[in-house]
Amino acid sequence: MKAYHPWRLPNLILVLSSLLFVQDSVVAQQYLGTVERLSPELDSLLEQDAKMEILGSGFTWTEGPVWMGGAEGHLLFSDIPRNSIFQWSQDSGIRLFMSPSGYTGVTYYGLEPGSNGLLKDLQGRLVMCEHGDRRISVLTEQGGKRTLTDNYQGKRFNSPNDAILKRNGDLYFTDPPYGLPERFTDPHREIDFCGVYRLSPDGTVTLLTKEIERPNGLAFSPDESTLYVAQSHPEHATWTSFPVQADGTLGKGHEFYDATHRVGAELGLPDGMTVDGAGNLWASGPGGIYIFSSEAKLLGRLLTGLATSNCTFGPEGWLYVTADSHVVRIKTKAVMLPATP
């Protein structure tokens, strides 16, 4: 989430600007930020000379990074205000992948109409959390989109924000109103709370909790016994862990870190996150990326100097980070989770 000045760009201008951006993306490597080391344990995850390499800039607000394919694959990420998804690969740099990505209407729809969180399903297809169309969709093999879910008990979602998939096919997702034109006070809002939900493979939607006022990013521990949820509330900027019960519902949450004291002094709020194979949590928050051990000890931070929205792992230990108008990556020594399709 972020605040923007209103603007609209015709798709033609968007495509032309993205082509110009590709030319700009092949310049010599540039870096940003610093690594803040708070524990010697961080040395097992990052080399002393690890740096954040800029892959691209000039976007409006980047989000939802996901790695598609294997070692020769590519990164996809959302630019929410542009209503677009972009692609980066080592060989081709950055190009426009999809537009529109989250809102298919023709009238103005607020400052954040596009797709937000992106992920792969068990078949390797792209799944999108769509702000403007207020749904979660999947990109079919034929190239079109199919709605996976767009309502709870007949009421339209606020604006699905981020999602994570269990190995059994259950999709867990958050639904704050950041994609609605007037957010919490939007007259078209049909659900008066911000829920964390589960979408089962049979299409059943289950409300898991509404105790987090502004849920945002989420991730599972490697064994899927714990669900982590970020709260992007400037007055209660926290991360909470929930035990996952045998039936997929959630037990009582435990708030394991509060970053409220950093809000304002550093840019950003708790947002998207990812987990490595050893259970370390890499989570965006005020200042950049927070690196927690599996025991919730803060080991260090990647200080981007930008409002940082999300991160994901790609091949060979690369961590890809979306930060404001930038996309960056840093080489880690983290153990990777088993690859998905």
| 63 marked ligand binding residue | yes
User: Is residue 91 within 8 Å of 299, Cβ to Cβ?
Assistant: no
Cα within 13 Å of Cα(308), Cβ side: 30
User: Is residue 160 within 8 Å of 138, Cβ to Cβ?
Assistant: no
Please state, in angstroms and rounded to a whole number, the distance separating the CA atoms of residues 3 and 58. Answer: 17
Rounded (to 5) percent helix, strand, coil in the chain: 10, 40, 50
User: What DSSP assignment string belongs to 52-73?
Assistant: EEEEE---S-EEEEEEESSTT-
| 156 marked ligand binding residue | yes
Catalytic residue among 79, 162, 175, 271: 271
CA 93, 74, 136 angle in degrees (round to 5)? 120
| 271 marked ligand binding residue | yes
Please state, in angstroms and rounded to a whole number, the distance separating the CA atoms of residues 38 and 42. Answer: 8
Residue among 166, 179, 158, 180 nearest 220 (CA): 166
| 37 marked ligand binding residue | no
Give 149's strand partners: 136
| 121 marked ligand binding residue | no
Cβ count near 233 (within 10 Å) = 19
**SS3 state of residue 110:** coil
Q: Does 121 participate in catalysis according to the annotation?
A: no
Active-site residue set: 271
Binding residues for a divalent metal cation: 63, 216, 271
Binding residues for substrate: 156, 161
